[in-house]
Structure formats: C-alpha cells, structure tokens
Amino acid sequence: MLVGFVFGVLFCAQSRDEPIIGVGEDPGEEECFGMLFPEPGDLDFGQVDVGETVEAQLLLMNEGGCLTQIVELDWIDGTGFFDVEPPESLLLASGEVLPLTVTFTPQDLETYENFLWVETSRGEAWEIPVFGEGVAGQAEVTPGSLSFDTVAAGCEVAETVTVTNTGNAPLVLEELAWSDEGPFLAEAETPMSIDPGESASFEVIFAPEEAAVSSGSLTLRFDSGLTPEVDLSIDGEAVDDLTVELSRTWRTGVPADLLLAVSTTESMTPHLEDLDDGFDAMLDALDETGVDWQVSVVTQDSGCALGTTAVVHPGLSRGLQEAALRTMLWSPSESGSEDARRPLALAKAALSAENIGAAGCNEGFRRSGATLGIIGVINGPDQSPDPVSDYLARFEYLVEAPELLTVHGVGGPDGGCNGVPYSALLGEAIAETGGTLYPICAADLGLGLDWIVRRAVADPTRLYLPEVPDVGTLEVWQNDVLLTEGWSWSEALNAVVFETPPQNGDEVVARYIPAEACEG
C-alpha cells in the first residue's frame, strides 16, 4: 500500500494505478511549500522570418519539498503570436521539471513581447517575459505597371523596373514568370539578392514584330513571407513599319567642290565669329575623308569669292587655307547688298556661267565630275526671291548626276532656336537633296561644319545617314547582299564605316528605323 499527504490530503492506494483518496491531517509533519522556478527567466526567440513558426523550451522546476500544482498557465496579452502547448499534467513533485513548448509565429516586421503567467496552488506566481522579432525582405516594385509609348514595328525599346527591399532582412528575387509574354522580354539574372534598404533593377523589353496592341503580365516571385509574389501588368502598341531606306551608288575617286553662301547682315556678326572658329574643324574633317576637295566662301551679291586666293584646296598650307577663308568671310559686303539674306540666290550668282567660266571671278571652282555641296549660312529665313526649284535646276545643271548635288545649311531649325526662326526656303532645298541643316544657335559651329562637309563629299569609306537610326534595326546591303560583317556603326559620325570600301559602281543600301520612331 502507498500512503502520503499532499496539502493535508491523505492519498492511499494499493498501487500507483489505483488511488484511493482519504482526507486527514499528517500529524507528524509541518506544512511545506513548493518552490517553482522558470528556466530561463525570460525567453527570447531573436529574429524569426515572418510567417515561419519556431519552437523553444521553457522549463518549470519544482525546487521545493512538496508537490506543486500549476493552477493557471496563460498569456497576459492573449495568445497573439506566441503560444504554449498545454502539458499532459500540471502536477510537479519535488525536484521534478515540467518542460513547456513555446512557439512564435511573427506576421509582420516588428518586435513582439508578451508575458506567460504561471500560478501555482500555493500562491506562487511568475510573469515570464517572452520576446521575438519578425524579419523579412519586403519587395517594393516600381513602376507598378508598364505602358510603353507607341513605337514602330521592328523596334526594340526598354523600360527599367526597380525592386527595393523595404524589409529588414535580405530579399531574394527567385524567379520571373510570364503568364502572357507576347512581344515582351525581361532581362534579369535570377536569383537576385537585395539587402535591406537597397535596390536592384532589370529591363523589360518591348520588341514588336508587327503592328498591334499587346499586353502581358510578369510575376516576380520572392523568398518573402510578406511579398511572395508581385504581378506587373505590361502593355504597348506598335504601328506599321517605318523603315527608312538610303541608297547610294558608290563612287570612288570623286573630287568635291564645296561652296559656303553666307549671310552678312549685322545680326549675323556673332555667328560669323563662330563660323570663323569652326573653319579648322571643317578642314580637318575634309582631310580625313581622303577626297580631293576644294572650298570657297561667298558673301557679296556678285557671287565672287574675295581675296587673291578664290579657292582653298589641300595643296595649300593650313595657314594659307585659314587665311584665305577668313578673307572671303570678312571682306566688307557691297553697299546695300540685296543678297545679304539670300543664301540660295547668292550661291546661284556664284555659280553663274560668267563667274565660273574662263576669266570669271570664280574660275576653277567648278570641276567636271566633282560633287557639288552648297552650304547656306543664315540666322533666319532665306529670302531668296525665286522658287527652290529654280535654284536646284541651276545647281543640278552643273553636276553629271543628281545624286552628286547636296544642299546643306547652318540656320534656323524647324521650330526655331533662341528666337531665330526657321530657315524655311533653305530647309526645302536641303530636304529635296538629302542634305543636313545644323542649328545656327549651337554652341560649337565647328561640330556643325564637320558634320556637314562629311555629308557633302563622296566619302569612300563611310555612308552618312540623314537621321539617327535605331541601331538594332540597322541593316547594310551591298549589291543586294546583306552584310553581316565588314562594317561598323559610328555614333559620333552617324555613319556606317566600312572596313573595306565598296567598289566603284556598287549599290549600297542602308535600311533602318529612325531612333525617334523607336522612342515613341
């Protein structure tokens, strides 16, 4: 038989499995007290991933001499994000240990705190602090959606998507998944790790092959309990192919004659100084082309180049070249000059049969078989009195083939600049001949003259384009054969540069979509 007193209650039993309870006092024993202690005295889970559940053990130890019963085990602030698994028994004999399993499941990026209340039948009570912090990477994706500008079919344009980790733990972009890809492509290497407070970017590309309105959805998948997925809606529109084709019958060994017809009104004075400063860059560019060139400048109604040297050419020293050009530019204009604001009329006068003929003031300027580049310079409208067709007719008469003529300009661009209106008549002639108009308001006219004269000669190694292409669409053909090598693109010159020049008479074609059409 087993006999014992617990809290003044006599327990009697034949065996441990069959207790018989009796009531009575233990006459030979003083009242005793249980002594309950928690280990540890507080429980700190540390940092735990949001959404994850972790466990820790809390030990309740009875270090007293009597049996102790736990009569209350609860959380002061409710269960919340902490929990405790109820034990099978709440009785602790002297020296026994009761293990409690406590769990923590954070749901947000914050620090959590609660108190586990433990009370015994002998009046002992403990408030056991329990702590934990929720941590996670948190994705903020900008922009929230992508809408591409309308572009030409065949273009390839990109927009940047940025992922910022606003959480307090590293964030990993594990995967990019398309639910409807269409003509879209995401360029990102996954997995991509992003530290707290940092950002990472990748590009989404819109590459439509035909005119259509397209949409797609891109899902970004993260290792985050807060933002496991972010959906990005994408749309874009493509219009019909806007491919430009530039063809040229290649000519080698073709000399180049260039004529600058310059307005000399009083308001042109600062521009003339800029033009003067740009002569050196112009001469460098002409030398680099390798063609046999010559240049003249006219400012007077008579169309005569002034000075003892009427034509500047590579046979002169650089000092003589620059001196002759300055003499032509700065010689005083005729009194009451009619053509001071008429570059086209001035060029026509310079190229009259009388002036370029035997004993004419511009004798020797026009050479048989040479290209002819007319460069008008004016800070406003060209006030030449006749239709553009009349001037072009005279210029074309002087070349063996229409493609040997180009008209260019340094003037007011379409829309004007710094109060200088559009040089409309000159612009019309430029458009008719595939020339270039460089804005006279630009800070460096040397760059403009470099740009223009390269396009006014038959450069044997370069094909200059009239507008900036979308390089990804640029194709080069030679005699109907697509060239996949042997050429490169020069952004600085806006030109196709051949490693081996095409042969005389070859048909060279460049096909491309202008960059503006691919920018929306």
Rounded Cα–Cα distance for residues 18 and 401 (Å): 123
Could you tell me the CATH number of the domain that includes residue 360? 3.40.50.410
Domain count, the chain: 5
Percent of the chain residues topping a pLDDT of 90 = 69
Assess whether pLDDT exceeds 70 at residue 23. Answer: no
CA-closest candidate to residue 345, choices 402, 385, 312, 308: 385
Domain final residue pick, 414, 434, 460: 460
Query: Based on the domain organization, do 217 and 357 belong to the same domain?
Result: no
Residue 12 pLDDT:
42
Lowest mean pLDDT among 27-36, 69-78, 180-189, 364-373: 27-36
Query: Based on the domain organization, do 258 and 306 belong to the same domain?
Result: yes
Query: Based on the domain organization, do 431 and 307 belong to the same domain?
Result: yes
Residues 6+ apart with CB under 8 A from 444: 274, 278
Domain final residue pick, 135, 164, 187: 135
Query: Based on the domain organization, do 260 and 150 belong to the same domain?
Result: no
Residues 6+ apart with CB under 8 A from 403: 248, 249
Residue 87 pLDDT:
86
Query: Based on the domain organization, do 176 and 50 belong to the same domain?
Result: no
CA-closest candidate to residue 222, choices 143, 161, 136, 146: 136
pTM score, two decimals?
0.61
Dihedral of the alpha carbons of 36, 42, 45, 51, in degrees to the nearest 10 = 80
Residue 248, in any domain of the structure = no
Report pLDDT digits (tens) over 99-141: 999 999 999 889 999 999 999 888 889 999 999 999 999 999 9
Lowest mean pLDDT among 26-35, 277-286, 323-332, 493-502: 26-35
Q: What's the DSSP call for residue 441?
A: T
- Average pLDDT value over all residues in the chain: 89
Residue 246, in any domain of the structure = no
Domain final residue pick, 66, 100, 135: 135
Query: Based on the domain organization, do 205 and 228 belong to the same domain?
Result: yes
CA-closest candidate to residue 159, choices 170, 148, 172, 173: 148
Residue 401, in any domain of the structure = yes
Q: In angstroms, how far is the first alpha carbon of the chain from the final one?
A: 98
Residue 25 pLDDT:
44
Report pLDDT digits (tens) over 245-263: 999 999 899 999 999 999 9
Residue 3 pLDDT:
37
Residue 28 pLDDT:
46
Residue 16 pLDDT:
39
Residue 249, in any domain of the structure = no
- The pair phi, psi for residue 122, each rounded to 5°, is -95, 10
Query: Based on the domain organization, do 320 and 228 belong to the same domain?
Result: no
Report pLDDT digits (tens) over 437-446: 999 999 899 9
Query: Based on the domain organization, do 110 and 167 belong to the same domain?
Result: no
Contact by Cβ (8 Å): 147, 236: yes
Residue 335 pLDDT:
43
Domain of residue 27 covers: 1-31
Residue 333 pLDDT:
56
388 band by pLDDT with thresholds 50, 70 and 90? very high
CA-closest candidate to residue 162, choices 215, 135, 198, 137: 198
Report pLDDT digits (tens) over 341-361: 899 999 999 999 999 999 999
Rounded Cα–Cα distance for residues 438 and 494 (Å): 14
Residue 266 pLDDT:
80
- The pair phi, psi for residue 269, each rounded to 5°, is -50, -50
Q: Each residue of 406-417: b (16+ CB within 10 Å) or e?
A: bbbbbbbbeeeb
Report pLDDT digits (tens) over 181-200: 789 999 888 999 999 999 99
